[in-house]
């Protein structure tokens, strides 16, 4: 595929191969963009910003609805691209494609709700004759940098609201999964989005990240990815708005009054969805001692039933990890944890990019698998005596994106809601539950700001005050 800069789909001799992580088959190639391509994209986006801020909102709405319709009419093709270039099974990829339709549709709906309010200037003595209001205006060029694990919908979460709000975009998708983003770009252009508003530069961060992050024409960096890259961006960005959607190692609490079947089923799914390469994936489960034994038995039995294999087979439950390097990293962490005293209940082995769904107990608090984000198919079970102990341990890490509690008690639920240090609490659900209109984001090292269209639109627009001296 080609990258999108200004009014052109751009080719280059230097190309990046996109390979299926299961069998290393070549799926496609994309241009390896460089600093000059980034400069050209900013130049085009300056023009694109002038165009989009001048478009009446009803036209932006029509383009967004039309884009959603195009994705909807080609949903299976989008799903197959997601599953071929990345880790997701075809069933997981279909869900992502359908969520992307939601994300773009909600962007169309929210475009008409970018509103201001009147200001009671006469609330101050001496301002009796003043009358006015504020409205929200677009901030300019949004630099969007996205990860591999939801290669379509996480791009939509930036591009949808940016366009709805009247901005222009310079987008850099993950190098291993650029195809879904380019396909989304094609849908926007087919839907009638004027050229220049959306620019997509494919290329390795090592070559183009600095040019993207430091260019003063970018007014906001909207980043989704790992904490390390996030910190690097913050250091270099200069005077710009920053949106950071980073990682986590999400905690689930299972109380003695929980529906255990439900807690097991949803937690297994939450731990191994997308091979655990999920920012809100379940990594740490704190189980009340009264039900610990039964939970562990059921959880391990259910995990052993997961079918690991080729992600495009309809009956595969868990596909490959994104690269062999990533699978080898998880293998290393698993080996270290075992040496540090953690007890392996099932899994732990790797074959190429395939990693068995893995369950540990007695994970030491100092082990990486407890305190860092594993971003792989590994989950830890811990026995706790009280809800207080579970909450304290859940909060004992540097991350805080989502947390969950399984209980039938309102008191337990409300205590967890109040005391878990996270951006969202799921009651009787997995931490990885999300719909695309809700505010989404974390505390501590899990990020800054919120996505979810309405909330991203607030970040991507600014209030302008208007005052008449009558
Ligand atoms: P990553 O390595 O941080 O890469 C994410 C994106 O940033 C890629 O496009 C990457 O480009 C680029 N990048 C890498 N280093 C950079 C730097 N120094 N400056 C600017 N850009 C840089 O993350 P990933 O492995 O793709 O994704 C996994 C991470 O994303 C996990 O930590 C996960 O929790 C997080 N995530 C968070 C959310 C959320 O909403 N909170 C959602 C999904 C994923 P290259 O591909 O060229 O390296």
Q: Which residues contact 427 (CB under 8 A, 6 or more apart)?
A: 404, 405, 407, 413, 416, 417
The model's pTM is 0.98
The structural domains of the chain, ordered by start, are 3-246+446-469 (3.40.605.10), 250-435 (3.40.309.10)
Number of other residues whose CB lies within 10 A of the CB of residue 228: 10
Concerning whether 356 is annotated as a catalytic residue, the answer is no
According to DSSP, the β-strands at 141-145 and 218-224 are parallel
Residue 248 alpha carbon to ligand 1 centre in Å: 13
According to DSSP, the β-strands at 402-406 and 424-427 are parallel
Candidate list 279, 331, 356, 373, residue with the active-site label? 279
CA–CA–CA angle 303, 304, 309 (5° rounding): 95
Residue 360 alpha carbon to ligand 1 centre in Å: 27
Residue 226 alpha carbon to ligand 1 centre in Å: 5
Q: Whose CA is nearest to atom 8 of ligand 1?
A: 174
User: Rounded distance, CA 13 to CA 30, Å?
Assistant: 10
* Backbone region of residue 217 per phi and psi (left: phi > 0; alpha: psi in -120 to 50; beta: other values): alpha
Closest CA to 178 of 153, 148, 135: 148
The pair of structure tokens assigned to 17 is 């191969």
Please state the length of the chain: 470
- Where does ligand 1 bind, in terms of residues with CB under 6 Å? 145-150, 154, 172, 174-175, 204-205, 209, 213, 224-226, 229, 232-233, 245-247, 279, 373, 375, 401, 447
pLDDT of residue 253: 99
According to DSSP, the β-strands at 378-384 and 282-288 are parallel
Residue 204 alpha carbon to ligand 1 centre in Å: 12
* Mutational pocket test of ligand 1: of 147, 214, 401, 453, the residue with most ligand atoms within 8 Å of the beta carbon: 147
The pair of structure tokens assigned to 52 is 């989009």
- Percent of the chain at pLDDT exceeding 90: 100
User: Rounded distance, CA 80 to CA 289, Å?
Assistant: 43
Residue 193 alpha carbon to ligand 1 centre in Å: 27
* Mutational pocket test of ligand 1: of 229, 231, 250, 441, the residue with most ligand atoms within 8 Å of the beta carbon: 229
Residue with tokens 């990486």: 368
**Tens digit of pLDDT for each residue in 344-400?**
999 999 999 999 999 999 999 999 999 999 999 999 999 999 999 999 999 999 999
User: Rounded distance, CA 99 to CA 82, Å?
Assistant: 13
**Tens digit of pLDDT for each residue in 316-354?**
999 999 999 999 999 999 999 999 999 999 999 999 999
User: Rounded distance, CA 152 to CA 79, Å?
Assistant: 9
Q: Which residues contact 346 (CB under 8 A, 6 or more apart)?
A: 300, 303, 304, 356, 357, 358, 359
- The alpha carbon of 240 is separated from its chain's Cα centroid by a whole number of angstroms, namely 21
- Burial state string for 183-206 with b = 16 or more CB within 10 A and e = fewer than 16: bbbbbbbebebbbbbbbbbbbebe
pLDDT of residue 116: 98
Concerning whether 279 is annotated as a catalytic residue, the answer is yes
**Tens digit of pLDDT for each residue in 295-311?**
999 999 999 999 999 99
- Burial state string for 239-273 with b = 16 or more CB within 10 A and e = fewer than 16: ebbbbbbbbbbbbbbbbbebebeebbebbbbbbbb
Positions of the chain with pLDDT lower than 50, given as ranges: none
């Amino acid at each position: 595929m080609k990258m999108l800069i200004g009014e052109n789909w751009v080719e280059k001799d230097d190309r990046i191969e996109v390979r299926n992580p299961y069998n290393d088959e070549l799926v496609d190639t994309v241009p390896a963009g460089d600093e000059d391509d980034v400069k050209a994209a900013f130049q085009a986006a300056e023009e694109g910003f002038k165009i989009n801020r001048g478009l009446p909102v009803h036209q932006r709405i029509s383009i967004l609805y039309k884009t959603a319709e195009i994705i909807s009419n080609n949903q299976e093709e989008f799903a197959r691209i997601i599953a071929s270039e990345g880790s997701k099974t075809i069933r997981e990829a279909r869900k992502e494609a359908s969520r992307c339709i939601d994300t773009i549709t909600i962007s169309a709906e929210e475009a008409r709700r970018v509103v201001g309010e009147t200001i009671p200037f006469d609330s101050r003595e001496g301002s009796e004759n003043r009358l006015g209001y504020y409205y929200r205006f677009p901030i300019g060029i949004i630099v969007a940098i996205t990860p591999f694990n939801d290669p379509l919908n996480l791009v939509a979460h930036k591009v949808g609201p940016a366009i709805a709000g009247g901005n222009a975009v310079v987008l850099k998708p993950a190098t291993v999964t650029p195809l879904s983003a380019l396909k989304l770009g094609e849908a926007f252009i087919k839907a009638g989005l004027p050229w220049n508003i959306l620019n997509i530069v494919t290329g390795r961060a090592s070559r183009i990240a600095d040019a993207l992050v430091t260019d003063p024409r970018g007014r906001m960096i909207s980043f989704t990815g790992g904490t390390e890259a996030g910190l690097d961006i913050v250091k270099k960005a200069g005077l710009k708005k920053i949106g950071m959607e980073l990682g986590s190692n999400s905690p689930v609490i299972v109380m003695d009054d929980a529906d255990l079947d439900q807690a097991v089923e949803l937690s297994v799914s939450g731990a191994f969805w997308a091979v655990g390469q999920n920012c809100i994936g379940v990594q740490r489960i704190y189980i009340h001692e009264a039900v610990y034994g039964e939970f562990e038995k059921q959880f391990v039995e259910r995990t052993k039933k997961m079918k690991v294999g080729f992600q495009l087979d309809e009956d595969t439950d868990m596909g490959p990890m994104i690269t062999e390097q990533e699978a080898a990293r998880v293998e290393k962490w698993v080996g270290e944890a075992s040496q540090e005293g953690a007890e392996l209940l099932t899994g732990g082995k790797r074959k190429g990019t395939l990693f068995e769904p893995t369950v540990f107990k007695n994970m030491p608090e100092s082990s990486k698998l407890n305190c860092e984000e594993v971003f792989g198919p590994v989950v830890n079970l811990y026995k706790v005596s009280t809800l207080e102990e579970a909450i304290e341990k859940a909060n004992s890490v540097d991350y805080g994106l989502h947390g969950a509690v399984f209980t039938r008690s309102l008191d337990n639920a409300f205590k967890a809601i109040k005391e878990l240090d996270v951006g969202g609490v799921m009651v009787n659900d997995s931490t990885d539950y999300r719909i695309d209109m809700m505010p989404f984001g974390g505390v501590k090292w899990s990020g800054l700001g919120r996505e979810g269209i309405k909330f991203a639109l607030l970040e991507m627009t600014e209030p302008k005050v208007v005052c008449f001296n009558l």
